[in-house]
């Protein structure tokens, strides 16, 4: 049944994409938009008490499911609950993909899309499996590692 497991692992799924909470800023590379300042502002408001935990920890069930099954471990702890349950989820938008994006966590699959014609954009989202914190970190165009 190994082929079934592999099929499940490479299944590409789409979820309702979390909306942007604020305005991003241009990142270092062309086409990159960085939402870290927005993230910092939101966390500051939460710590100051002007936002409740429910306001910032509102990941929907489908996003949590994707974060649990189709993500990579984030290099940092959750900024809200300080647990090590923070995950990085990558949603890709582009030609022939669903309008609400597709969740892709395999480097090989990202590379395959980057080599296709048309522009593909990746949205990197962090999601905490413990407290349901979620935030868009950055958006960037997919670029092939081979043509770079």
For Zn ion, how many residues bind (rule: CB under 5 A)? 7
Nearest CA to 36 out of 139, 130, 142, 121 is that of: 139
Query: Interface with Zn ion by CB under 5 A: which range of 33-41, 58-66, 72-80, 113-121?
Result: 72-80
- Segments of the chain assigned E as strands: 25-26, 33-34, 72-73, 86-93, 102-103, 121-128, 134-141
- Indicate which single residue of 15, 128, 136, 137 sits in contact with Zn ion (rule: CB under 5 A): 128
Give me the least distance between CB of 105 and Zn ion, in Å please. 20
User: Cβ–Cβ contacts within 10 Å for residue 113, how many?
Assistant: 19
- Confirm or reject binding of residue 80 to Zn ion (CB under 5 A): yes
Between 90 and 135, CB nearer to Zn ion: 135
- Confirm or reject binding of residue 81 to Zn ion (CB under 5 A): yes
- Indicate which single residue of 35, 46, 93, 133 sits in contact with Zn ion (rule: CB under 5 A): 133
Give me the least distance between CB of 84 and Zn ion, in Å please. 9
Give the list of residues 6+ apart from residue 43 with CB closer than 8 angstroms, or none: 56, 79, 80
- Confirm or reject binding of residue 91 to Zn ion (CB under 5 A): no
Give the list of residues 6+ apart from residue 73 with CB closer than 8 angstroms, or none: 84, 86, 87, 88
Binding site for Zn ion (CB under 5 A): 78, 80-81, 128, 130-131, 133
């Amino acid at each position: 049944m190994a082929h079934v497991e592999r099929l499940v692992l490479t299944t590409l799924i789409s979820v309702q994409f979390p909306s942007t909470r604020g305005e991003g800023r241009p990142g270092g590379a062309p086409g990159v938009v960085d939402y870290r300042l927005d993230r910092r502002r939101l966390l500051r408001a939460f710590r100051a008490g002007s936002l409740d935990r429910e306001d910032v920890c509102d990941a929907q069930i489908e996003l949590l499911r994707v974060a649990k099954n189709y993500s990579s471990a984030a290099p940092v702890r959750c900024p809200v609950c300080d647990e090590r349950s923070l995950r990085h989820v990558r949603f890709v938008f582009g030609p022939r993909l669903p309008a609400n994006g597709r969740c892709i966590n395999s480097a090989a699959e990202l590379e395959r899309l980057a080599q296709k014609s048309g522009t593909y954009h990746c949205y990197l989202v962090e999601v905490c499996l413990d407290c349901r914190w979620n935030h868009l970190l950055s958006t960037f165009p997919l670029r092939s590692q081979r043509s770079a």
